[in-house]
Structure 1
Amino acid sequence: MTQSTGKRLLQYALSAKKTFIAALLLLSIGVAAELAGPFIAKNMIDNHMLAIEKPYFETTSSEDAAEYNNTFYKRADRFEPGETKGQEIRLLQAGRSFYFINGAVAQPDGERTFQDGQLHISRGGNETVYPAVKLGANELFAFYKPELPGIYQLVWLYLLFLAISIVAEFGKTYWLQSSSNQVIRKLRTDVYAHIQRLPVHFFDNLPAGKVVSRVTNDTEAIKDLFIAVLSNFSTGIINIIGVYVALFLLDVRLGLISLFLIPILVLWIVLYRKVATKYNTIIRSRLSEINAIINESIQGMSIIRIFRRQKQRSAEFEHLNDDYLKYQNKMLNLNAFTSHNLVNCLRTISFVMVLWYFGFGSLDGSTFVSIGVLYAFVDVLGRMFQPITGMVNQLANLDSSMVSAGRVFTLMDEPGEPVTDGTMPRYKGEVNFKNVSFAYKKDFVLRDISFEARPGETVALVGHTGSGKSSIINLLFRFYDPQRGSITIDGKEVTDMPKQWLRSHMGIVLQDPYLFTGTIVSNVSLGDERITRERAERALREVGADKLLAHLPLGFDEPVIEKGSTLSAGQRQLISFARALSFDPAILILDEATASIDTETESVIQEALEVLKKGRTTFIIAHRLSTIRSADQILVLHRGEIVERGSHDELMALGGRYFRMYQLQLGAGSGEVKNIPTAESGASSAGILQPSMKQV
């Protein structure tokens, strides 16, 4: 059973688990260092800045003490055990000023006012009055002076944690992106490798542009998942965990109140993905179709212009592009209505609940907390919404990445051909088809095909289009396997041989040979280490390619662009011949190899063919019957059946379908249909037809 997309992505992530773990570890350190800031601020506020309102006592020592009116006063919590305490005094703030009270204060909390040398403290309808003296700036600073070493220490501690968070942020970003790139590299390599294993018939129904889109666009979207989405979500989750730990450390009740954010966030992610997945599936599909139509248009640009189909192709492209735009706008609307609005709503609700908690609870004194705790709580709670914003803003990328990952894994789930290492000894090339029937879908295109090709023989396959010639070659290469019958090479069933081993001793020359970007020599060797430069150049000379390529400035090192479009058909064909010759196949297939060659070049091609066929079992698919006169065996196919077989002379003497095809081609070439004598009239058909061959 196919694993879920999430599990498979996790497996790929584990391929770079060391750097991922290092990144997450640094992320945790960075979050802890960043969240230390509010605690340091709380400590600075409660224990230093506002701590001068704590009780003070007279002391004889000046250490950690403030001097006022030639008397030293020390905070109560700074006395050593056993140290003598003198008269208690208090410093209380009213408005913007601080006042000195020479005595204890029973209840300092409440509304404070100063009038006529007295400080009034009102709370719950009760008022207490204390004689007080207003402190000047220097006098007030004298009480703050003992706090400065502790404040400086906290400031340095804050800067240290800030430096740690900066370093951790850099390391987290670098390692997270580095590991993400490693994962995407492995994923792209696996996708491309799997494409190489897919059976040939898979590409019959899937346009090249769509395959390219899976390997490039979809994997790039997955890269966003590992870099942007994973970064924001891992940062967000660790931040949220750290924030809740900090909230509970500050005040358990406030932490419990703030827990309502979690189910809202989870519910939102689930609901968002339900809608977004539908849109993103269509968006990725349209992007693949756009790539496919662009690829098809570039490949067929000459046909489009010859038949003046620019407007129609533009209209098709515009329709796809408009549909793509429509669903992109739907995604934009979904994100615009939700992401920032959701976070703002959550932020507002959370702060309203905190204010409600303090507002109503403070009336009876049940929820009193220090100013430092309140500041730290608001600071920490505010910090939680930054990662939440990051997570919500990445929901679009998350869903797009998951859809793209699903498309990539769907491609990778297509059954591929097993890859078998090693090779087999070069076989002799004896091919035997026995009662072979084959259908691509339902209708059989080959019916009870039987023939034998002995090593070194040349077998020609002729027949009208759709008669089954190419299907026989497809079966021989094992691009497909027959539904009935057997195919053997040197007496061994081809289905018992690994496909790579079987094809390693086969070569093919197509009517329109495919050349890769590189040079002429690299197109002969195809990068195979076994094909040395000397061997490739020798193959080019043996097939006569040096005659047609001699005028090129760089000779055999002449650059070849995609598909060899700067070379003539004859030049491309000779390079293809040299490629087949350099690999020294036991079985050679020539698929209309001279169909698109001019008459002058054909003589060079024919000489190359004779060099190429020497010592190999050769199959020739040909419409130009004049090129197969010397074939050892000619198979005439009609509607998937072999209707005639024999040598050229035997088939001409038979006077059947091959005779009529040959006569028709000869007449078309010479301008008239001639009555060709056969062996039955006592004349040698070969001798009579030879002069006419020059006219064809």
Structure 2
Amino acid sequence: MIENNTGIAKRLFRYALTAKGTFIAALIMLAIGVAAELAGPFIAKNMIDNHVLGIERPFYETSTTEGSAEYEGNYYKRTDHFSEGETRGQEVRILQSGSHFYFIPERVERAEGERSYQNGQITIAYGSMSDVYPAVPLTASELFGFYEPELPGIYKLVGLFLIAMLVSMIAVFSRTYWLQSAANRVIQRLRTDVYAHIQRLPVNFFDNLPAGKVVSRVTNDTEAVKDLFVAVLSNFASGIVYITGVYIALFLLDVRLALISLFIIPMLIVWIVLYRKFATKYNVIIRSRLSEINAIINESIQGMPIIRIFRRQKTTQEEFENLNNDYMAHQNKMLNLNSLTTHNLVNVLRNIALVVILWYFGSASLTGTSLVSIGVLYAYVDLMGRMFQPITGMVNQLAALDSSVVSAKRAFELMDETGEPVTDGSMPRYKGHVEFKDVYFAYKKDDVLKNISFQASPGQTVALVGHTGSGKSSIINLLFRFYDPQKGSISIDGRPVTEIPKQWIRQHMGIVLQDPYLFTGTIASNVSLGDPRITREEVNKALNDVGADRLLNHLPQGFDEPVLEKGSTLSAGQRQLISFARALAFNPAILILDEATANIDTETEALIQDALEVLKKGRTTFIIAHRLSTIRNADQILVLHRGEIVEQGSHDELMEQHGRYFNMYQLQQGSSVKANGGKDSETLTADSRIPQVSAKI
């Protein structure tokens, strides 16, 4: 683990700051929406206590008809509707017993208690005592007469409720839109940063990490992080704001109810901690398996011809199924964990909490020894129901939270790999005088190059020959500065390469691989690689100069012919000539040729050789040679054996020495007579260490 969850959270927070304005706007709308939604229970409480149950408050006889209720020729107004200084007459009460309401024409000393009606009298019992008052049953129309003055207030509250719901709807829409927009911007930035860092990673990093795993981190892992900002942030932010608002509302409503309800907070915290303890372990494996699945799919597609030829379909499928089964097994473990700890458990806890509260406070209200009013109790039940709703949303997002954190950690692990510094600017085209002096180099422990010393003058052609593993490609890797030597020095035009930024050196280098790599696009775009400094005229000239027009003119769209991935629709000769034109268009001072004719048929080879002569003019050229007949005109031939230069000179000089080069040449000449039936595997096999890079580095 490169860092704990706190460190990951800080880095994600820094990314969130890139869209802080939108996030702040979303959170403001979230707070407005919560406030508007929580206004509903208070409006309902007001309606119940002040307008519906308020009918049991004292009424007084009055002479004014406005805001009054008429009963048997007299007008009565509720006590809280009198204006200051207004005259009050006889006090009366309206009380409920069972499902009926009764008119009591006198003052009631104590209305709370157990009520019963019999023979024109209503009895109110409280403890061991009771009071008896004369009472008249009210008809529905008579009862409505006492409610009618409350209707304007009720209509006003209903209007406020509708306005609050409309504000809540607008706030929810704005919050969702802005959160999605901000999350997309953050993930775009994160994905760009991850991909940009991949471009800066040294070549040796990719030696041990399959391409599919890298792709998974750029795509799947960053997409999983998006859920953190969209779903998780939305639910947790709204949940925290909502729960805070509910508790504020509960304390405003009734302090006792609020204090009793505080047990939910520690329960939720413990819940999240325990859940993540198990979920993180599963999610690490799930993300890793998904990455491995992508890797094996990528490898299978790349190597499909080999899989088919050697009939490895069943074995490959079994490997894939094993990974897929393990992936599914851990997904099922997460499913079981989520099933046990999500909304079902929340509902159980909510129901338990409501039952306890209703049993304690509700029973007291019904027996007349009311601790809280019915309106307060209703508002409390409503608020508790609203509070458990965001808790359910938060709990349901725990899986996405943990998966997002694990994915973010994997993306940050990649970004924390040491990359090569990127230096802006450029340097003038150098002449190409290359000198290796006492160079020692090892990929890991054992030296693959030992005491390498030679010079290549501008315009010279230097050939590297030797068996597989002799160090040919390692010299090229050092020249490109994919690696730096442990001992010795390498200089270009007398300047140590370690003093020159890698991008500046590579700006004036080019390479033609034995199996050239073409990108999806057109023939012309594969020559220019999208570099705006190379005009279309220069592209066409480069293709014509290497003779590519002879092999490509027959194509329907000429140099604008579409190229599929790796140039699979083109022949080996056509791909090779395009790579030659690419190198020529960039006009490198140093050119590396990885046996450019090794995969070319005899008929095309003459055309390729002519292109080579055009390409080598005015450049220092290094050739990794497998066919020794193609380097007879090289100015200098370096014969490598087990990482050392054992022979050095021109073709004629080396032939006169009758040494290793002489034997290799004689062997190949003999092999050619046998129609290549007896190739020496040591001299004809390409060095596997050469990195697959484009012509323009």
State the superposition RMSD in angstroms: 1.4
CA distance in 2, matches of 1:261, 1:75: 41
Cross-structure match for 1:683: none
Secondary structure of 2:342's counterpart equals: helix
Cross-structure match for 1:616: 619
Q: Which stretch shifts more, 365-374 or 270-279?
A: 365-374
CA deviations over 1:614-649 (Å, ceiling 9, x no partner): 000000001001111111000000000001011111
CA distance in 2, matches of 1:12, 1:630: 58
Q: Which runs of 5+ in 2 are unaligned?
A: 677-697
Cross-structure match for 2:684: none
1:202 aligns with 2:205: yes
CA distance in 2, matches of 1:249, 1:660: 98
Alignment match of 2:563 (pick from 556, 560, 565): 560
CA distance in 2, matches of 1:667, 1:541: 36
Cross-structure match for 1:64: 67
CA distance in 2, matches of 1:215, 1:104: 79
C-alpha deviation, 1:359, in angstroms: 6.1
Cross-structure match for 1:354: 357
C-alpha deviation, 1:340, in angstroms: 2.4
CA deviations over 1:7-46 (Å, ceiling 9, x no partner): 1111101111000000010000000000000000000001
Amino acid at match of 2:182: S
CA distance in 1, matches of 2:345, 2:391: 10
Alignment match of 1:243 (pick from 218, 241, 246): 246
CA distance in 1, matches of 2:652, 2:270: 82
C-alpha deviation, 1:672, in angstroms: 9.3
CA distance in 1, matches of 2:367, 2:107: 24
Amino acid at match of 1:35: L
C-alpha deviation, 1:360, in angstroms: 7.9
CA distance in 2, matches of 1:450, 1:349: 83
Cross-structure match for 1:128: 131
Cross-structure match for 2:417: 414
Structure 1 residues 195 and 604, CA gap change in structure 2 (3 angstroms):
same
Secondary structure of 1:415's counterpart equals: coil
Structure 1 residues 366 and 454, CA gap change in structure 2 (3 angstroms):
farther
CA distance in 1, matches of 2:364, 2:658: 111
C-alpha deviation, 1:671, in angstroms: 2.9
Answer whether contact 2:362 2:377 (CA < 8 A) is retained.
no
Alignment match of 1:368 (pick from 367, 371, 374): 371
CA distance in 2, matches of 1:620, 1:381: 78
CA distance in 2, matches of 1:453, 1:596: 27
Cross-structure match for 1:651: 654
Alignment match of 1:89 (pick from 71, 83, 92): 92
C-alpha deviation, 1:438, in angstroms: 0.3
Amino acid at match of 2:19: A
Cross-structure match for 2:601: 598
1:402 aligns with 2:405: yes
C-alpha deviation, 1:98, in angstroms: 1.2
CA deviations over 1:195-238 (Å, ceiling 9, x no partner): 00000000000000000000011011101111111111111111
C-alpha deviation, 1:361, in angstroms: 6.6
C-alpha deviation, 1:349, in angstroms: 3.0
1:525-540 to 2 correspondence within 5 Å?
525-540=528-543
State, as a whole percentage, how many aligned pairs show the same letter: 74
Give the TM-score, by structure 2 length. 0.95
CA distance in 2, matches of 1:134, 1:192: 82
Answer whether contact 1:59 1:74 (CA < 8 A) is retained.
yes
Answer whether contact 1:261 1:346 (CA < 8 A) is retained.
no
Answer whether contact 2:60 2:76 (CA < 8 A) is retained.
yes
Alignment match of 1:116 (pick from 108, 116, 119): 119
C-alpha deviation, 1:348, in angstroms: 2.6
CA distance in 1, matches of 2:476, 2:159: 80
Structure 1 residues 422 and 489, CA gap change in structure 2 (3 angstroms):
same
Alignment match of 2:17 (pick from 10, 14, 17): 14
1:434 aligns with 2:472: no
Q: Which runs of 5+ in 1 are unaligned?
A: 674-696
Cross-structure match for 2:185: 182
Alignment match of 1:323 (pick from 326, 333, 337): 326
Answer whether contact 2:113 2:367 (CA < 8 A) is retained.
no
C-alpha deviation, 1:78, in angstroms: 1.2
Answer whether contact 1:33 1:165 (CA < 8 A) is retained.
yes
Secondary structure of 2:142's counterpart equals: helix
CA deviations over 1:137-178 (Å, ceiling 9, x no partner): 221111111100000000000000000000000000000010
CA deviations over 1:559-592 (Å, ceiling 9, x no partner): 0010000000000000000000000000000012
Answer whether contact 1:357 1:367 (CA < 8 A) is retained.
no
CA deviations over 1:77-115 (Å, ceiling 9, x no partner): 111111110011111112222111111111111222222
Secondary structure of 2:470's counterpart equals: coil
CA distance in 2, matches of 1:645, 1:285: 50
C-alpha deviation, 1:366, in angstroms: 7.8
CA deviations over 1:590-624 (Å, ceiling 9, x no partner): 01211101111111100110010000000000100
Answer whether contact 1:98 1:135 (CA < 8 A) is retained.
yes
Secondary structure of 1:259's counterpart equals: helix
CA distance in 1, matches of 2:450, 2:483: 15
Secondary structure of 1:93's counterpart equals: strand
CA distance in 1, matches of 2:596, 2:656: 27
Answer whether contact 1:38 1:379 (CA < 8 A) is retained.
yes
Alignment match of 1:574 (pick from 555, 570, 577): 577
Secondary structure of 2:448's counterpart equals: strand
Amino acid at match of 1:605: I
CA distance in 2, matches of 1:366, 1:211: 69
Answer whether contact 1:462 1:469 (CA < 8 A) is retained.
yes
Cross-structure match for 2:154: 151
Cross-structure match for 2:498: 495
CA distance in 1, matches of 2:105, 2:661: 129
1:44 aligns with 2:41: no
CA distance in 2, matches of 1:214, 1:386: 34
Secondary structure of 2:639's counterpart equals: strand
Answer whether contact 2:542 2:581 (CA < 8 A) is retained.
yes
CA distance in 1, matches of 2:127, 2:671: 118
C-alpha deviation, 1:135, in angstroms: 1.2
Secondary structure of 2:307's counterpart equals: helix
Structure 1 residues 415 and 249, CA gap change in structure 2 (3 angstroms):
same
Q: Which stretch shifts more, 246-255 or 359-368?
A: 359-368
Cross-structure match for 2:299: 296
